[in-house]
């Protein structure tokens, strides 16, 4: 009987400590580590979120840019940060999923070192074609490519970039043979597609927006599972090829070992910020779509599992060898 009483007392005391931790957090400033430099999309979105969260928490949210090394520098810093509830990793698809398949070894292990806290937004890609290309939709583009195997080409921002992987996956899904032409950056990629030296490419909505509005490029489809706000007239590639769903995304992680009650608090407060129409509108201006909610731990882990499978196939299709 004493053992039962003692166990019950311990459980109550643990609950009291957990409640006290949740109520006292945050007692000082919070740090968001990024793998990207200042001024980039992830940096701007993280600062937008941090400004709103600082008002909720009554504490400063400091953005620490640790760019370089294909996201490795920032990810490693976040993995080594204390799991005290005051350190978080504002990560992208590349850092915690794609690097697993494009790098021979990493000084961090996403599954071991991080716990997902909140999924913020997804960034779809738009398939755009040169105006001289007669195809008006995806089906016509696939038919055109099949009629001229090996003669059409698509552009990407670099040999190992997301645009290239999407182009290679379209080769796989459409059973076509279109030549991949990598460039050094988004600007020359789009310029050569406008000039007709390549027939099509994939890019974010901010990147292609001016070209589409000026009539220099024609948008025909999006890479996301659902149609994109502001581009509702564009069908998804998945409507033609079931299973085709490739987007970038932003997720907040905590170092493994961070208290569960604090993670729940951050998840809840991030969800509150995501409901702000102004926040959603500003994030949309950077080509991303805010999620309907930050997700439960089960939902986020399942999302990451499927993303791992998805991008592993894309890396293989692009014939990218780990380096």
Number of Cβ within a 10 Å radius of residue 94: 20
Closest listed residue to residue 224, CA positions, set 239, 207, 208: 239
Domain ranges of the chain: 2-122+247-317, 126-239
Specify the CATH class of 2-122+247-317 in words: alpha beta
Verdict on whether the full-model pTM lies above 0.75 = yes
Closest listed residue to residue 252, CA positions, set 69, 53, 107, 104: 53
Same fold for the pair 2-122+247-317 and 126-239? yes
> Which residues lie closer than 8 Å to 199 by C-beta, 6 or more apart?
129, 130, 133, 152, 153, 154, 178, 193
Q: Contact at 8 Å (CB) between 57 and 30? A: yes
Q: Tens digits of per-residue pLDDT, 239-297?
A: 999 999 999 999 999 999 999 999 999 999 999 999 999 999 999 988 899 999 999 99
Q: Contact at 8 Å (CB) between 178 and 171? A: yes
**Can you name the CATH fold of 126-239?**
D-Maltodextrin-Binding Protein; domain 2 (3.40.190)
Q: Tens digits of per-residue pLDDT, 106-137?
A: 999 999 999 999 999 999 999 999 999 999 99
61 is written with which tokens? Answer: 């949210």
Q: Contact at 8 Å (CB) between 279 and 48? A: yes
């Amino acid at each position: 009987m004493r053992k039962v009483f003692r166990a019950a007392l311990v459980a109550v005391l643990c609950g009291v400590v957990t409640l006290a931790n949740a109520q006292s957090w945050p007692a000082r400033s919070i740090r968001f580590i990024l793998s990207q430099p200042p001024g980039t999309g992830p940096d701007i979105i993280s600062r937008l979120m941090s400004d709103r969260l600082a008002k909720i928490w009554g504490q400063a949210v400091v953005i620490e840019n640790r760019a370089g090394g294909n996201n490795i520098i920032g990810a490693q810093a976040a993995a080594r940060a204390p799991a005290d509830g005051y350190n978080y990793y504002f990560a992208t698809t590349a850092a915690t999923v794609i690097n697993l398949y494009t790098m021979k070894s990493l000084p961090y292990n996403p599954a071991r070192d991080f716990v997902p806290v909140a999924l913020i937004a997804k960034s779809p890609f738009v398939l755009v074609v040169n105006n001289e290309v007669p195809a008006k939709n995806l089906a016509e583009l696939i038919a055109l490519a099949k009629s001229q195997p090996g003669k059409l080409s698509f552009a990407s921002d670099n040999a190992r970039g997301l645009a290239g992987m999407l182009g290679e996956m379209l080769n796989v899904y459409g059973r076509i043979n279109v030549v991949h032409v990598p460039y050094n950056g988004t600007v020359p990629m789009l310029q050569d597609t406008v000039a007709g030296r390549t027939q099509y490419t994939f890019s974010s909505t901010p990147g292609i927006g001016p070209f589409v509005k000026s009539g220099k490029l024609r948008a025909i489809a999006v890479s996301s599972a659902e149609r994109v706000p502001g581009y509702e007239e564009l069908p998804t590639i998945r409507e033609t090829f079931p299973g085709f769903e490739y987007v970038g995304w932003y997720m907040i992680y905590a170092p493994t070992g961070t208290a569960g009650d604090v993670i729940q608090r951050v998840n809840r407060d991030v969800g509150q910020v995501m409901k702000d129409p102004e926040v959603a509108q500003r994030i949309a201006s950077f080509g991303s779509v805010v999620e309907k909610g930050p997700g439960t731990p089960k939902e986020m882990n399942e999302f990451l599992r499927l993303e791992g499978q998805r991008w592993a196939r894309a890396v293989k299709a692009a014939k990218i060898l780990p380096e």
